[in-house]
């Protein structure tokens, strides 16, 4: 779906004419969004993904410690 052309400035200072919901900045490689609401949604989604990854790796580390490291160390 093509939107009306709109000039949007990236955080690095690069200005792009957007006709889609987002494009990649040619200067720094970040996403430039047509609508600020989409940018906020992308930011919250990124926070969510990082949080889930940290929790999964933490849980795997906990399981490793409880099931593998502790019996080999003889503690418990």
Q: How many Cβ atoms sit within 10 Å of the Cβ of residue 60?
A: 10
Predicted TM-score of the model (pTM)? 0.71
42 versus 71: the higher-pLDDT residue is 42
pLDDT-based confidence at residue 72 (cuts at 50, 70, 90):
confident
Rounded CA separation 69/39 (Å): 43
Is 80 exceeded by the pLDDT of residue 75? no
Q: What percent of the chain has pLDDT over 90?
A: 79
Query: In the predicted model, what is the mean pLDDT of residues 46-65?
Result: 96
For 21, the token pair is 């919901």
CB within 8 Å of 5: residues ≥ 6 apart: 17, 18, 19
Q: What is the pLDDT of residues 13-47, one digit of tens each?
A: 999 999 999 999 999 999 999 999 999 999 999 99
């Amino acid at each position: 779906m093509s939107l009306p052309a709109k000039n949007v400035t990236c955080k690095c200072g690069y200005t792009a004419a957007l006709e889609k919901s987002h494009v990649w900045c040619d200067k720094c490689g970040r996403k430039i969004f047509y609508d600020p609401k989409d940018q906020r949604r992308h930011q919250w989604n990124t926070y969510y993904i990082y949080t889930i990854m940290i929790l999964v790796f933490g849980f795997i580390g906990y399981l490793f410690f409880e099931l593998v490291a502790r019996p080999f160390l003889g503690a418990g």
